[in-house]
Amino acid sequence: MVRPLSGIRVIDFTEYIAGPYCTMMLADMGADVVKVERPEGDAWRHTAPLAPYEGRGFLGVNRGKRSIAMDLERTQAREAAQRLAAQADVLVTNYRPGVAARLGLDYQTLGAANPALVYCENTAFGPAGPYRDRPGFDILSQAATGIILYENKVDRGVPTYIATMAVADLTTGMFMAFAIVNALFARMSSGKGQHIETSLFASGLAAQYRPLISVEEVDAPIREGFLRELDEARKQGLTYEEAAKLRAQYIAGRGRNNYYRVYETRDGLIAVACLNNRQRRALRDAVAVSDPTVEGLTYDWFSEEVRRTHREVTGPMEDAFRSADTDQWLQRLDAADVPCGVVNFPEEMFDNEHVRANNLMLNIQHEVLGTLLMPACPVRMSVSRPGTLAPPPALGAHGREILREFGFEEVVIKRLEEDGAVVTRAELLARRPGQGD
């Protein structure tokens, strides 16, 4: 069965999370992804290392690719990289502004030689504006866009970033893959590639589909009043907690929602997710509390009536859930058509019956580390087959193979290796006595 992007060549100059996650998605759909790494490899290879040049973070976002390690500071390596790009369908970068041009790997240069090239460039903050040249990672996008404040988690007086997932990185990777596939589709009729720009900052804004909606007639005066007072208070010096209290005087917080939260049962935890009043009434009746705010069609979690009622019924609802086991509550709530589910530890996912039934975990053999278990591609298609069992590549493992496929003669390949323009993990380890596998 042919995968959707079979025959598409992708040259990947990205590292860390956003770009590699994008190109792993493309690899899962059948694209031939050539990961071009620095001589020491993607920096993510060296974070939480399991072996030299093999890090946990790298393994999670580089499945299904081939690796070639090149020293792009050398002229012959840059020329070789340009030859790869000339035969590619897609090229992906995440350099800081100006770096790609310095290396001769910018869209203007490569697009002129290969007009059909789809070139996707991800930066931290985009191509313009006062943040343009700043370095950026997920936490900095969370900070700059305000996402970091939304979970109301404070440690030692300051907000903590969302650590459960790299929200800006992963959403950016998905946006990148989405844009690339759309550009490939457009190329089918036009024959021409195009330049795509994304940023962690833009994705951080786009992910806030609800917090950043403003009904200007209602919201603008409130927002402007808060910002005026905040500006004055900052001149006097204020702590984050003081600023948060000031904001609360203007912007109603969402508060606790008894119908969308986790409860403790007699033997574990259960989550409930009621997003309409029919479901809320069903949960209310199942736990036998009185809550008139869920009658009718509308529900306003910012209203004082809802907040007051929530405060009154929180304790009784928590007591009710503690009175029975998780399985008993699942049966009771399922019968009432209340959306709910058990809370699992991540470690339980490796042998979870539902995970197995849906083939959502891969068993992959890695040449250095042995067996890897990792989440599978989450998409199923009736005709095509997404997904791959190809492991994350060892550093430079496919250098010779890739260069041959792109038409490099053996004498040229040998010269690139001898000059240090192309390296492999094995060569690097040989230079580090006592640091083998």
Q: pLDDT digit string (tens) for 234-284?
A: 999 989 989 989 988 888 766 568 999 999 999 999 999 999 999 999 999
* Residue 402 to residues 21, 24, 36, 136, 244, Cα–Cα distance (Å): 21, 18, 10, 31, 54
Pick the CATH number of 9-206+360-430 from 3.30.470.10, 3.40.50.10540, 1.10.150.120, 3.40.50.12280: 3.40.50.10540
Taking the model in full, what pTM does it have?
0.92
Alpha carbon distance 47, 278 (integer Å) = 48
Site of tokens 């997932």 = 165
pLDDT recorded at residue 200? 96
CATH topology of domain 260-347: formyl-coa transferase, domain 3 (3.30.1540)
For residue 223, pLDDT beyond 70: yes
Site of tokens 């330049």 = 195
Alpha carbon distance 251, 220 (integer Å) = 11
Rounded average pLDDT over 424-436: 77
Rounded average pLDDT over 374-382: 92
* Residue 212 to residues 58, 234, 276, 306, 310, Cα–Cα distance (Å): 33, 23, 22, 23, 26
Rounded average pLDDT over 140-167: 85
What tokens does 339 get?
């959306």
Residue 275: count other Cβ atoms within 10 Å of its Cβ. Answer: 12
For residue 303, pLDDT beyond 60: yes
Alpha carbon distance 290, 268 (integer Å) = 25
pLDDT one-digit tens code per residue, 311-342: 999 999 999 999 999 999 999 999 999 999 99
Q: Detail the DSSP E strand segments found in 71-117.
A: 90-93
Rounded average pLDDT over 348-353: 94
What tokens does 102 get?
């310095």
Q: Detail the DSSP E strand segments found in 136-259.
A: 154-155, 158-159, 194-199
**What percent of the chain has a predicted confidence (pLDDT) above 90?**
81
For residue 95, pLDDT beyond 80: yes
pLDDT one-digit tens code per residue, 171-180: 999 999 999 9
**What percent of the chain has a predicted confidence (pLDDT) above 70?**
98
pLDDT recorded at residue 148? 87
pLDDT recorded at residue 122? 97
pLDDT one-digit tens code per residue, 44-70: 999 999 999 999 999 999 999 999 999
Alpha carbon distance 70, 17 (integer Å) = 20
Which residues are within 8 A (CB) of 299 and not within 5 positions of it... i.e. 6 or more apart?
276, 277, 280, 293, 306
Site of tokens 């996402």 = 147
